[in-house]
Structure 1
Amino acid sequence: MKNVRDLLYIAMMATILVILGFIPAIPLGFIPVPIVLQNLGVMLAGVLLGWKKGSLSILLFFLLGMLLPAFSGGTLFAVLAGPTAGYVIAWFFVPILVNLVLEGFKNTSFISYLVAILLGGVLFVDVAGAIYLSVYMHMPLVTSLLSNLAFIPGDTIKAVVASTIAYKFKDKLGLA
Structure 2
Amino acid sequence: MFMTRSTSITAIRLTKIALITAVVVVLGFLPPIPLGFIPVPIVLQNLGVMLAGVILGAKDGTISILLLFLIGIILPAFSGANTQGVLVGPTAGYVIAWLFVPALIALGLAKLPKQSATFQFVVIWLFGVLFIDAFGAIYLAVYSHMPILKSLLANLAFIPGDTLKAIITLIVANRLTKLK
- How far residue 18 of structure 1 moved from its aligned partner, in angstroms, is 0.7
Q: Which residue of 2 aligns with 1:115?
A: 122
Aligned with 1:137 (options 120, 134, 144): 144
Q: Check whether the contact 2:25–2:77 (CA below 8 A) recurs between aligned residues.
A: yes
Say if 2:116 is the partner of 1:100. no
- Structure-2 change in CA distance of 1:24 and 1:65 (3 Å): same
- The residue identity in structure 2 corresponding to 1:47 is V
Structure-2 separation of matches of 1:47 and 1:32: 29
Segments of 5+ residues of structure 2 without an aligned counterpart are: 1-5
Supply the RMSD in Å over aligned alpha carbons: 1.2
Q: Which residue of 2 aligns with 1:17?
A: 24
- How far residue 80 of structure 1 moved from its aligned partner, in angstroms, is 1.3
1:96-119 deviation digits (Å, cap 9, x = unpaired): 111221122112332222111111
SS at match of 1:3: helix
Say if 2:79 is the partner of 1:81. no
> Radius of gyration: which is bigger?
2
Q: Which residue of 2 aligns with 1:32?
A: 39
- Structure-2 change in CA distance of 1:166 and 1:109 (3 Å): farther
Segments of 5+ residues of structure 1 without an aligned counterpart are: none
- How far residue 171 of structure 1 moved from its aligned partner, in angstroms, is 4.4
Structure-2 separation of matches of 1:57 and 1:86: 18
Shifted more, 70-79 versus 149-158: the winner is 70-79
- How far residue 20 of structure 1 moved from its aligned partner, in angstroms, is 0.4
* Large movers: runs of 4+ above 3 Å: none
Q: TM-score of the superposition, structure 2-length normalised?
A: 0.92
Q: Check whether the contact 2:94–2:136 (CA below 8 A) recurs between aligned residues.
A: yes
